[in-house]
Structure 1
Amino acid sequence: MIEEIQLLGVYVPAALVWAVVAAVAVYLLRVPLQRIPAEKLVWHPGLLDLLLFVLIWWGLGALADTYLTSWLAS
């Protein structure tokens, strides 16, 4: 697992980087999701946003563990 990423000479936890990327992705997905009628069927839109954030964050972490570690090891 990649534990730290160097950004401009500063080591940042990888989970923080993936969380920021996930938060930006959820922010960009909110507008299209609000335009479709399925948004009105959701009991609590905030929970949908939280669910999307957690799933995207988990997916980014899993992809990073799978592909970046093998890429950096070679």
Structure 2
Amino acid sequence: MSMPLTLKNLSEQVVSVHLDNGDLVGQLKLIGGVWKFKAVGYTADGHVVPGGGPLTERHNMTFTALDEAMVNAGLMGR
């Protein structure tokens, strides 16, 4: 089964979250023992908008484990 989001490790405490077309939509950061989603979007001229983008309603969602299926279910509402 294909998942709409993929995770890419940036460090032990930060994972980037990408749409299936490769676009960055946020990061998961390990904070206080839980993974917290930080949404990101961009303005028309390419400036970063923290908390913005297509998953802005999911900004600050937390996950107890770094599991791609769990993250997809939570962030994509499936």
User: Does TM-score exceed 0.5, indicating one fold?
Assistant: no
Q: Which has the higher helix share?
A: 1
Band of TM-score, shorter chain: under 0.3
TM-score, normalised via structure 2 length: 0.23
Structure with the bigger RCO (C-alpha within 8 Å, sep 6+) is 1
Which is greater in Rg? 1
